[in-house]
Amino acid sequence: MTNSVPRLINNFIHGKQVIPSTSKYLPVHSPIDSSIIASVALSSKADVDDAVQSAQTAFHSWSALTTKSRAAILLKFHALVKDNSHELAQLIVQENGKNFTEALADVAKGNETVEYACSMPQLCQGKTLRVSSAVTCEDRRDALGVVASIVPFNFPFMVPMWTMPIALVMGNTIVLKPSEKVPLTMYRTAELLKEAGVPDGVVNLVQGGREAVESLIDHPDVRAVTFVGSSPIAKLVSDRCHSLHKRCTALGGAKNHLVALEDCDIPDTARDVVVSAFGCAGQRCMAASVLLTTKKGDGGSQQELLGAIMAKAKSVERGTGPGQLGPVIDEHSFNKITTYIEEAEKSGAKILMDGRSWNNSEPESSGGNWIGPTIIQHSSASDAAMMEEIFGPV
């Protein structure tokens, strides 16, 4: 672990570490070998109240700045992220299990949104329109206040940046609830925001689980909520926010299908299918987890394409180096993924490539959550693995 991130991950409120009122912590396990790499605070409603109060207090002076002034601070943050991209990527590898190239891309894509947010002084300009001799309409963008952002484990830097930089440049303050599975990256990010000149209280981190999430959503001073996670939880968050008449953006999962026509370029298609299905260990909502092939004119199947995909998948190596396939996030995910494979096998589907053989088959993977590329040939469209998001390299 880098020296700049403590092994004890507390809340980050008003620009400093704050011990949770519960004095309780959760272990943070490395998906690579299941070792405990840190302990993260388990926050209560009282901790959420403190964070929201800090954000509410900071809102008045932060929103009083010009959009240009706020963007200038975020531009400094953008430069700091570039300067510290390797450190952030190393944290992502350690706590998430991505390979280093994927982790660098996580940081780079997140920083693209920071760069976009720095353009807000031009993009958010209002307008006036004289609609009649005595009536003028004005269109302007006003800051809401405290915005809560609840983010998942699969992209520890990129996904928080979907909300944070834009909300900040527009004059809002933030209370972020990182995933308790990957708290290290965002803690270091909060330090970089402070270094860039973001005033204390403008960005706050509350660690923890369900109590922290529900307390954030229910807090009367939280004006808007953004959430990224599984579809069932996204629906719960959306319904809860709407019952409180709060603005909410809740993004869930997906089941993505590819269709390969009989005249497809086999080498290119095989490469793209493997990269999409197995990149980031399949733990992304854009992973292509189902491939549909059309029959050839002679009625035969596309065995040549299937063979090319299997050959490409077999060349994938286990590990966190460039081009390698890392582990899935935790034991719960591992068990969920292997259950889908087992159920498909019981239903009569053919397991053409079985990634379960990766787990504990070599000393360096002992204790980690390793699943290799898995290819299942289904005969029924009603199989669960055909319809439900697996979130793994299947």
- Residue position matching structure tokens 């982790």: 103
CB 184 within 8 A of CB 134: no
CB 250 within 8 A of CB 237: yes
State how far the Cα of 233 lies from the Cα of 210, in Å rounded to an integer. 11
- Identify the CA nearest to 160 among candidates 121, 113, 196, 192: 113
Given the residues 241, 248, 280, 285, select the one marked as catalytic: 285
What the block records as the tokens of 4 is 């700049």
State how far the Cα of 230 lies from the Cα of 213, in Å rounded to an integer. 14
CB 178 within 8 A of CB 51: no
State how far the Cα of 206 lies from the Cα of 171, in Å rounded to an integer. 20
CB 18 within 8 A of CB 47: yes
Query: Is 137 part of the annotated catalytic residue set?
Result: no
DSSP alpha helix (H) spans, the chain: 45-64, 67-83, 85-96, 100-117, 120-123, 158-161, 164-169, 184-196, 210-218, 231-243, 266-278, 303-314, 331-346, 384-387
The torsion region of residue 15 among left (phi > 0), alpha (psi -120 to 50) and beta comes to left
Kindly report the length of the chain: 394
Would strands 16-18 and 11-13 be described as parallel, antiparallel, or unpaired?
antiparallel
State how far the Cα of 362 lies from the Cα of 328, in Å rounded to an integer. 16
State how far the Cα of 379 lies from the Cα of 386, in Å rounded to an integer. 10
Three-state DSSP state, 302: coil
CB 291 within 8 A of CB 260: yes
Three-state DSSP state, 277: helix
State how far the Cα of 160 lies from the Cα of 178, in Å rounded to an integer. 8
Catalytic site positions: 285
